[in-house]
Amino acid sequence: MTEFDPALHRMVPQQRWFEDFALGERFVIPSRTMTTAVFSAFQAASGDTHPVHYDVEYCRARGMPNLLAHGFQTLIHTAPGSGLFPYMVEESLVGFLEQSSRFLKPVYADDTIYPALEVTELTPGRSTGVVTLRSTVFTAPRTGAGGAAEVSHPATARAALNSASPSPIRSPRRRARAQAAGWSSRAHWRCGR
């Protein structure tokens, strides 16, 4: 039997750094059918007790075919952590900086959603860079409906990633402050725009 090394036990063996990303690059996230169990779990976690999210008869009385998904219930399936992205950047990820979204069309119970991320902006810094990801969610066509509908656009997430070869913190005063804050030159970053 060969020796086991936990450091080699990775979802994605090749790590990526800021410079490794390209505009237009897509990351598909697994599809998911929005079952009533997903609705129940989200309702319990969110505390949203509006009947549009859990009472089918309430929804039908208002012309909806089924339970209406909360916007964030759909959005959570576009989180970069829903796919392989965080495994690609395990060593370079500094942190997620922000997220914003708009909801264009409803998602109902039993809809199947198809989320994806696309790199739309790359903003280099001194030792890190910011990757902006646009997320989209499409639904499969319902019986008697037209083609797939885009239901979430534009949602964006911004992540700070280290560069493969960051420049060291050269100022002794800044280096001392960074070390006191627990930063190394590889993890030194600014959130400023």
The reported pLDDT for the residue numbered 170 is 43
- Over residues 145-164, the mean pLDDT reads 65
The reported pLDDT for the residue numbered 168 is 46
Percent of the chain whose pLDDT exceeds 90:
40
- CATH 3.40.50.300 for the 14-164 domain, yes or no: no
Q: How confident is the model at residue 20 (pLDDT cuts 50, 70, 90)?
A: very high
Torsion sign across C-alpha atoms 107, 105, 76, 122? positive
Report domain extents, the chain: 14-164
Distance CA 45, CA 130 (A): 30
Structure token pair of residue 71: 């916007």
Give yes or no for a contact between 155 and 115, defined as CB atoms under 8 angstroms apart: no
- pLDDT for residue 36 is more than 70: yes
Q: How confident is the model at residue 165 (pLDDT cuts 50, 70, 90)?
A: low
The reported pLDDT for the residue numbered 191 is 29
HEC string for the chain: CCCCCHHHCCCCCCCCCHHHCCCCCEEECCCEECCHHHHHHHHHHHCCCCHHHCCHHHHHCCCCCCCECCHHHHHHHHCHHHCCHHHHCCCCEEEEEEEECCECCCCECCCEEEEEEEEEEEEECCCEEEEEEEEEEEECCCCCCCCCEEEEEEEEEEEEEECCCCCCCCCHHHHHHHHHCCCCCCCCCCCCC
- pLDDT for residue 184 is more than 50: no
The reported pLDDT for the residue numbered 162 is 81
Q: Strands 93-100 and 112-124, how do they pair?
A: unpaired
The reported pLDDT for the residue numbered 189 is 28
The reported pLDDT for the residue numbered 182 is 46
pTM for the structure as a whole: 0.73
Rg of the Cα trace of the chain? Answer: 21
